[in-house]
A and B are shown apart, each in its own frame.
Chain A
């Protein structure tokens, strides 16, 4: 696709290129749309705070081997339960004498791993089920939605527990269990969105061009559902991390000695009255990542809300 009309505008600088009223190419139009969203997002201070916290945690996870002061797995029983700051241990040591700061850094990797996997699996599943149900209607809708209701009828943690118990403990199974329990709300959202979109004129118009249901769902309905799902997922992230931590706490998530934050709290529980930091510091980590996702979700809602997009 060459664009003969595209006069090079680079001389005006990339900003002018991005804010041009008359985009000259597909890429420019898309970039401009993203840039506009970014401008709107940036004006939301709290969301930016969330994004910065999150970026900070991601950087910590990526550079954990460089940032860590100790090996997170090496035990030193002679040096156990040291308070924060003592002997080069920034956040102190746990009941087996492991450096909490280093474990926290490596634990971030596990948390982000869980979050990413769940964020990919659950909404995708929900999106597929919800849009098919919403677009097809009739008995397909009834069957799929009753199936969804069954999953919704169980408390999430209990259902996840049951799955993990059946599949065996471990991070991957924990992710699978959480995803399997997390998708129904997404299916509901996607279906509700689809129902309103399905009867709009722009869907009628593509139907009149002979487009089939698969094309309509994936090309025309998904792009409009995804924004509300992304918002919901970021807002749910906190809950997902807490569920993962909860599974870890109950010993059904990451297995010792891996430094999963929930498992770390579980270990520190026994000492919480005398050695508060062992449980509190991973708790604070969970708190900050949850908060970051919540703030981010609020900001994304402002950017992505279709009602706002029309200005």
Chain B
């Protein structure tokens, strides 16, 4: 049984004449404990796949399964205990008027945990923030610290699958390294399954075992990371992507 099984997913945005076919016939299978990367440029529909999976987009058809359960139109509490998401921009994903403590406590209460106080402290420790950060507001935190809080929030319900939407693209490289290491450690510790979206092949290559390349809403190629390193892609667009990111990396 796969952790995530997406079959012939189509997603649309807008209505009437403006209805835009954002994701076309996408199929993905991600095994339990695997780390899968979705690569593409802006507008390729890679983030849309994630957002549709968690129920933030309504206009879709196809078949999506998580842990063997078919997803309907509405997601229930049990789903959100299994799947959580980390957003791209840590400056936009935290409520500006809520302290770290409020953010985490609320999430824990929503999921019905009783020992909220202990859990908040434990979560902060897990993401490498001390108790000193507990009562700070987002504007008192740096970008990397905010992203750690966002990761703590995603970890709060003890999910098994984490969807990562460009989790480091808004951060400096040195901070990116810290966050990527944290994500690597967390995956090892909790046996998480990652579905990661990024435009940065270096990051994807570091984090993921298998990748799918998206262009104009379609998956053009799926390959494992070894073949990616050997640059043995078959599709012209993948080759182009690999070459241009090599150009900027080396």
Q: Out of B87, B107, B117, B136, which one reaches A201, CB within 8 Å?
A: B87
Chain A residues lying within 8 Å of B101, measured Cβ to Cβ, are 26, 29
Q: Is B236 engaged at the interface, CB distance under 8 Å to the other chain?
A: no
Number of contacting residues on A, CB 8 A?
30
A29, B99: Cβ atoms closer than 8 Å: yes
A2 to chain B: closest CB distance in Å?
8
Q: Out of A21, A202, A306, which one reaches B93, CB within 8 Å?
A: A202
B163 to chain A: closest CB distance in Å?
9
Chain A residues lying within 8 Å of B135, measured Cβ to Cβ, are 22-26, 28-29
Residue-wise interface mask of B (83-96) relative to A, using a CB-CB cutoff of 8 A (1 in contact, 0 not): 01101110011111
Could you say which of A111-119, A156-164, A204-212, A266-274 contacts chain B? A204-212
Given A202-B93, A209-B110, is A33 in contact with B131 using a C-beta cutoff of 8 Å?
A: no
A81 to chain B: closest CB distance in Å?
55
A205 to B154 CA separation, bound complex (whole angstroms): 8
Q: Is A223 engaged at the interface, CB distance under 8 Å to the other chain?
A: yes
Q: Is A1 engaged at the interface, CB distance under 8 Å to the other chain?
A: yes
Q: Is A311 engaged at the interface, CB distance under 8 Å to the other chain?
A: yes
A1, B117: Cβ atoms closer than 8 Å: yes
A49 to chain B: closest CB distance in Å?
28
Chain B interface bracket (under 10, 10 to 19, 20 to 34, 35 or more): 35 or more
Q: Is B24 engaged at the interface, CB distance under 8 Å to the other chain?
A: no
A220 to B103 CA separation, bound complex (whole angstroms): 10
Q: Is B140 engaged at the interface, CB distance under 8 Å to the other chain?
A: yes
Given A1-B117, A22-B132, A209-B157, is A200 in contact with B92 using a C-beta cutoff of 8 Å?
A: yes
A210, B87: Cβ atoms closer than 8 Å: no
Residue-wise interface mask of A (177-221) relative to B, using a CB-CB cutoff of 8 A (1 in contact, 0 not): 000000000000000000000001110111111110000000110
Q: Is B111 engaged at the interface, CB distance under 8 Å to the other chain?
A: yes
A210, B111: Cβ atoms closer than 8 Å: yes
Q: Is B106 engaged at the interface, CB distance under 8 Å to the other chain?
A: yes
Q: Is B150 engaged at the interface, CB distance under 8 Å to the other chain?
A: yes
Q: Is B247 engaged at the interface, CB distance under 8 Å to the other chain?
A: no
Chain B residues lying within 8 Å of A202, measured Cβ to Cβ, are 92-96
Chain A residues lying within 8 Å of B133, measured Cβ to Cβ, are 22
Q: Is A11 engaged at the interface, CB distance under 8 Å to the other chain?
A: no
Q: Is B139 engaged at the interface, CB distance under 8 Å to the other chain?
A: yes
B80, A201: Cβ atoms closer than 8 Å: no
Q: Is B56 engaged at the interface, CB distance under 8 Å to the other chain?
A: yes
Residue-wise interface mask of B (183-204) relative to A, using a CB-CB cutoff of 8 A (1 in contact, 0 not): 0000000000000000000000
* Closest A residue to B94 using CB positions: A202
Q: Is B241 engaged at the interface, CB distance under 8 Å to the other chain?
A: no
B93, A201: Cβ atoms closer than 8 Å: yes
B137, A33: Cβ atoms closer than 8 Å: yes
Q: Is A310 engaged at the interface, CB distance under 8 Å to the other chain?
A: yes
Residue-wise interface mask of B (101-134) relative to A, using a CB-CB cutoff of 8 A (1 in contact, 0 not): 1100011001100000100000000000001110
Residue-wise interface mask of B (30-62) relative to A, using a CB-CB cutoff of 8 A (1 in contact, 0 not): 000000000000000000000100111000000
A201, B92: Cβ atoms closer than 8 Å: yes
B110, A211: Cβ atoms closer than 8 Å: yes
Q: Is B77 engaged at the interface, CB distance under 8 Å to the other chain?
A: yes
* Residue in B54, B131, B135, B157 whose Cβ sees the most chain A Cβ within 10 Å: B135
Q: Is A309 engaged at the interface, CB distance under 8 Å to the other chain?
A: yes
Residue-wise interface mask of A (11-36) relative to B, using a CB-CB cutoff of 8 A (1 in contact, 0 not): 00000000001111110110001000
16 further interface pairs, Cβ-Cβ under 8 Å (given A29-B136, A310-B96):
A5-B131, A23-B99, A26-B99, A26-B101, A29-B135, A201-B88, A204-B87, A205-B93, A206-B110, A208-B54, A208-B80, A208-B85, A209-B80, A210-B76, A220-B95, A223-B97
Q: 7 A-B pairs, CB-CB below 8 angstroms?
A: A5-B132, A26-B99, A29-B99, A29-B136, A205-B85, A206-B110, A306-B96
Chain B residues within CB distance 8 Å of chain A = 51, 54-56, 75-77, 80, 84-85, 87-89, 92-99, 101-102, 106-107, 110-111, 117, 131-133, 135-137, 139-140, 150, 153, 156-157
Chain A residues within CB distance 8 Å of chain B = 1, 5, 21-26, 28-29, 33, 200-202, 204-211, 219-220, 223-224, 306, 309-311
